[in-house]
Amino acid sequence: MVCQDCEKKLGRVITPDPWKIGARNTVESGGRKLGENKLLTAKKSRFSPYNSKFQQCRICRTSVHQAGSSYCQACAYKKGICAMCGKKLIDTKNYRQSST
């Protein structure tokens, strides 16, 4: 779960959308150029095993693979918080949450 503020921080996909209406990664929207190597140009959303490590979840200490996230998806679901910033999204007091 990611809040509306953190949706802007999510990385873009490498391949263009087949449906161009509303797509953020097409030539018309400025997201992808012809002949551009996305592996070389988009380094901020890539993981390099030589330079850094995956972040760990603040609750369960498992590795988090989503760039910029502080919580894993299982803990964010159980607590009802945003996986990136930790903002409360849902009041889970009366829910029966399970991770399986």
DSSP secondary structure letters along 24-59: SSSTTTTS--TT--HHHH--TTS--TTT---EE-TT
Most confident stretch, 17-26, 38-47, 62-71, 91-100 = 62-71
12-26: pLDDT as tens digits: 666 665 666 666 666
pLDDT band at 27 (very low <50, low <70, confident <90, very high): low
- pLDDT beyond 80 at 91: yes
Average pLDDT over residues 75-92: 91
